[in-house]
Structure 1
Amino acid sequence: MPPNTNRGAATGAAGVALIDGVPLVREGLAAIVHRTPGLRWIGAAENPAVGMRLCERLRPDVVVVDAGLDPRGQLARMLSASHGVVLMVDDAHLSSQYVASAMTGGVRGVIRRAAQPGHLVQAIQAVYAGGRYLDATLAADLGASVVRPRRPVNLRQPLSQREHEVLRLIADGLENQTIANLLFVSVETIRTHVKNILRKLASRDRTHAVAMAYRSGVLTVEDDAMARSRAPERST
């Protein structure tokens, strides 16, 4: 499907692209985007290689990706560095491990492949606004393990408020210097917080710490979404 060439007429709207191997899905999302105010259609690709080229050339704001084309989450991780990513998950990938891994890897939205069109629009809008979206039905089917585990971990030394804030920013894929700038502290202070986080979560590195935090309930998708509505505090 050719990309939308009338981009100037839709200034301020969220540019949406799709990577999906099914022509009917590509046509369907294009129609949904065209009829939804605030969204503009960028284009679609039938495989990851073409999708990467499309995103590099046209820079959509949000990329919807079929999990069937990205079973290990590598494509989503690469795209999430510069785009908001919504992952459409089919039954073959319906597991808490896959969803948690995707979201810790940078994916902002996860939705069932069979979801209603309106829910997909909500996911795109939430991701474009800087938030996160987890399909409510999907969360229920997973026993809410990704959103709110039943028995959060009891740390011997709980994270401080500042450490928790730093951990959230690490989960967003930010490096130490960027986190320091956001929190108005030195990069050495952030390094100290990171060391404390790794020790308290018994983690070998930053990625492992984020995975452990989501798995244990120290971080939740709901908490992350609410955090994005608040600017970082200046206190240390």
Structure 2
Amino acid sequence: MPVSTQQQPGRATSTIGVALIDGTPLVREGLSSLLNRTAGLRFLGSAESAQVGLRLCQRLRPDVVLVDAALDPRGQLSHVLSAAGGSMRVLLLIDDARRTNQYIAGALAAGVAGVIRRSAQPNELLRAIQAVHTEGRYLDPALAPALAAPAPRAQQTPRQPLSRREHQVLQLIADGLENQAIADILYVSVETVRTHVKSILRKLSSRDRTHAVAVAFRSGVLVVDEQSPGSRPARD
């Protein structure tokens, strides 16, 4: 069955509505049972494909949507869901094949609020759902060492240090923001942001924005628990 939903009128504001996009029927069945019996959570529905999952989320507007990483190999689904607006947060379920710093950094750059191992224990998943809903960020402790693993010596630091403004731009890119949104937050023009991005790519020897975020995490330019720069920085 491609999609299943459970709707009840009058959901309490303290209840977290959760949806699931996952290609494995057994996982969909097991998680729906777990969420339905957990106080404070309400399972809204599930979908077995990215396309159906998008329609499901557009209709039900969950607070948290769990996404199977196998259905989102390039981060496009996570980016669309994260950019949809409102309070919906994406929690990515990562399998062993994608348990790499490059994939995790790319997922964070695409806008996911949290990442957790697909093999995590039920209580860990429940904590992750609560965290992405209340704090807007969660990183599975078992995945943090992979993300923070040092690169080979020749790549540990960029050839030139980033300026303060470039570092702010890079943080915002890692939060999944596009150039216009970054320009609005930093009170600069879009062209100025593009100039900063070009400089960041050059200094980090990166081929694109996602690669720059991955390099930055590996080299320590960005750290996993670094405070999100969502609040507006002071003008230069």
Which TM-score band (shorter chain)?
0.7 to 0.9
Other-structure match for 1:149: 150
Matches for 1:28-177 after TM superposition, within 5 Å: 28-82=30-84, 83-129=88-134, 131-139=136-144, 144-147=145-148, 149=150, 153-177=156-180
Q: Calculate the aligned-residue CA RMSD, in Å.
A: 2.8
Q: Per the alignment, do residues 47 and 90 of structure 1 end up closer, same or farther by CA in structure 2, a change over 3 Å counting? A: same
Specify whether residues 39 and 7 from structure 1 end up closer, same or farther in structure 2 by C-alpha distance, changes over 3 A only: farther
Distance 1:118 1:97, change over 3 A: same
Please state whether the residue corresponding to 2:147 is helix, strand or coil.
coil
2:235: which partner in 1?
A: 235
Q: Displacement, 1:64?
A: 0.7
Unaligned runs of 5+ residues in structure 2 are none
Specify whether residues 7 and 187 from structure 1 end up closer, same or farther in structure 2 by C-alpha distance, changes over 3 A only.
farther
CA distance in 2, matches of 1:46, 1:53: 12
Q: TM-score, normalised by structure 1?
A: 0.80
Give the deviation of 1:168 after TM superposition. 1.0
Moved over 6 A (4+): none
Answer whether contact 2:69 2:92 (CA < 8 A) is retained: yes
Structure 1 unpaired stretches of 5+: none
Q: 1:37: Cα distance to partner? A: 4.4
Using the TM superposition, give the Cα deviation of residue 73 of structure 1 relative to its aligned residue in structure 2, in angstroms: 4.0
The count of corresponding residues between Structure 1 and Structure 2 is 229
Given that 1:197 and 1:209 are in contact with CA atoms closer than 8 Å, whether structure 2 keeps it comes out as yes
**1:181-196 matches, cutoff 5 A:** 181-196=184-199
Alignment check: 8 A CA contact 1:176 1:191 kept:
yes
Identity rate, percent: 60
The amino acid that maps onto 2:199 is N
Deviates more, 1:35-44 or 1:58-67: 35-44
CA distance in 2 between partners of 1:222 and 1:86 (Å): 17
Pair 1:207 & 2:210 matched: yes
Residue 153 of structure 1 contacts residue 218 of structure 1 at CA under 8 Å; is this kept in 2? no
User: How far is the alpha carbon of 1:56 from its aligned partner?
Assistant: 2.1
Relative to structure 1, the CA distance from residue 28 to residue 220 in structure 2 (aligned partners, 3 Å threshold; closer, same or farther) is: same
8 Å CA contact 1:148–1:217 kept in 2: the answer is: no
Q: Are 1:146 and 1:220, in contact at CA under 8 Å, matched by a contact in 2? A: no
The answer on whether the counterparts of 2:79 and 2:176 sit within 8 Å (CA) in structure 1 is no
